[in-house]
A and B are shown apart, each in its own frame.
Chain A
Amino acid sequence: MQLTQHQQDMLDGKYGKGAAYAMKIQAAIGESFGAERMVPITRAHVALSNQEADLWFAEKMLAGGAKCRVIPTVNPGFCLEFFKNRDMVAPEYADLMQRTHNAYKALGAQLSYNCTPYIDTNVPNYREVIAFSESSATPYANAVWGARTNREGANSALCAAITGCVPEYGLLLDENRKGDILVEIQADVKNDFDYHIIGMLGKKIGEGIPVFTGFPKETITKEALRNLGAQLNTSGAYGMYHIVGVTPEAPDLGTALGGKAPKRTVVITNEDKEAILKEISLEGSRTIDFAMFGCPHFTLEEVKYIAEKLEGKKLKKEMWILTSSHVKEMAVRMGFDRIITDAGGFIVPDSCPDQPCWRHLTGKVGITESPKCAYYPQRRGIHFVIRDLDTCIEAALTGEVK
């Protein structure tokens, strides 16, 4: 790989050990993918996870004197103030979050703690070269905004923020952005939840770049697209997709496929939706202990929708709605937070379902509309029934799901 003098200097340690280590990792990634050069980025999003590996790596960079050249936004851990004040988190985990906060602050990150930067805090422009990690963020940035990023890991995105560049390969190049799997949606698609479920069909769709046809236009919302990308990367690994007539690099089917025939055609039916829901969800007809939404973070519109459903009512079970701090603030200003709080629910900023702050839910059964929300916390002994949002809200009000 050809490096510029500046990049070579960085690799040689002239800008400190941290920057040199970041460049070394990126050069190795570039070489494994056959990149010929490193190109500058203008944005980054680091999927901070507040897990041991994440902190280990961030502190290692910091110890090497690294500082972000491009200020990245970061993913949620958990809101220290909220969970510490309620004594919901063990001291060692509160300590982990504090150290994560300190490390990223010192590295110069924007402490946004939000997993939907493509809606809230860090929206790229068409053809902008960026480094986005976070599974729902990469496909949104590529497919919906037409920006260019590979499916970075949290570590490689942090390296990119530190060096200010990325190896040029994969989705940064025109020829690799074309679709190669035609996915015909023949299933009913009515709401954002249907996109969650269709996204979970990665095993059926297979490896490649899907080109979707058949989504009814009126159902294609920012929440739907967020859900589709999030779940495609729960059931598989997708950095890019196209929706014919909707996403910017797919004005028509031929362009989306790059003028070639698709390597395969997949038809998605109602039977596929039913089968996958059965596979990933606990069985219904049971009592539930809590409801959780916001994986990825809920938008202001979704918060408003829930608030309208809960106005004047009392929840039988806990309801946790996870959002960005921006959405939380707007919800407070606009009165939605008060309605939801009065009903017995919580809008929690800066937090993720897969964090140690949920220890009181261990062994309990929740309900959520997001398969991703149900998937990761399995490891913490928290299991979910997955249903559409209305059913979830009803379950939190009555304490049971039919």
Chain B
Amino acid sequence: MASRIFAALTRDEGSSDTDESPRREEPSVRTDGGTVTDGASDATTAAVGDDASALGRLRRSRFLESLPFWGPPALLVFFFVYGAIAWNFVISLTGWEGLGSPDYSSLSTEMYARLLSDPSFTAAFRNTLVLLLAFTVLSLILGLLVAILVDQKIRIENTFRTIYLLPMSLSFVVTAIFWSWMYNPTNGLINEALRGVGLDAFTQAWLADPQFKLAAIIFALMWQFSGYCMVVYLAGLRAIPESQYEAARIDGASTIKLYWRVIIPQLRASTMSAAVVLVVFALKAFDFLFVLFGVNPGQSADILSVMMYRVAFDRIQWAYGSAVAMVLFAMTLGVIGPYLYVQYRRGEL
């Protein structure tokens, strides 16, 4: 139905257009609406048959031909994703609080000014950055190490791979409760293990002491996601031809040198894609914290996504929550943007 309407539209425009082109007669010209238009133009005037060249090109263009495929999803995405983001931005400029309706008549950046003077935002922002960097870098390093070890043609490699990847498949809710048991200061496994080897001095109230809270969370998240890094790196390692290892060996490179100079530099693409996924997960680590601490993790472990939820849904300060969400969005964009640009430059997009 859509194509018929489209055909009718182009026909109308075609008849009003005076810039005619003889090439229109070529029988090889077929577009998606072609069946109808051809018939219609045959039945009407020759002027329509001799269509405008610009229009002809337009109708032959892949853009319009592919429109039915990407058009509807693009429309949905634009409306529900980008439209929602834009609306969220507008809300962040209002002063919307409580259960009434937002007042769009007076927009200001007051909420953003308030963010800058809010100590809990400063803390959440700092924690988010720390979490982002530490979690991503450490997970990548750990994943790479494990991948290199698993790649050593060991026996039951598949079993190891599954074991390392399993935590990734668990939900944050499960791992959060699991780690709250692990970290329990009196009977948790971590402190028990420390006591077992005589390191009583190192036992801590991991999730209560503000000094260790964030580190404990980063460690738990690392446990969950380094398996994912391992799989990505393993795929990267498998793509490197065996001959390179041999050549390096023949040249007398030590194992460390082999990996440092030859193998790891070739894993840049793996690192990139794993890092982007990790960063996005770090920004969304909401579930983990929410299960552990509810909406108030305290300033030592608060992150922006938890703060956003707390402000918007616990305090019903929608505009302020929207402002936090925009900061979070900008951070995500700051990570994804360069990645997409690099991909684009390389022609991989």
Partners in one complex: no
Which residues of B come within 8 Å of A, CB atoms? none
Which residues of A come within 8 Å of B, CB atoms? none
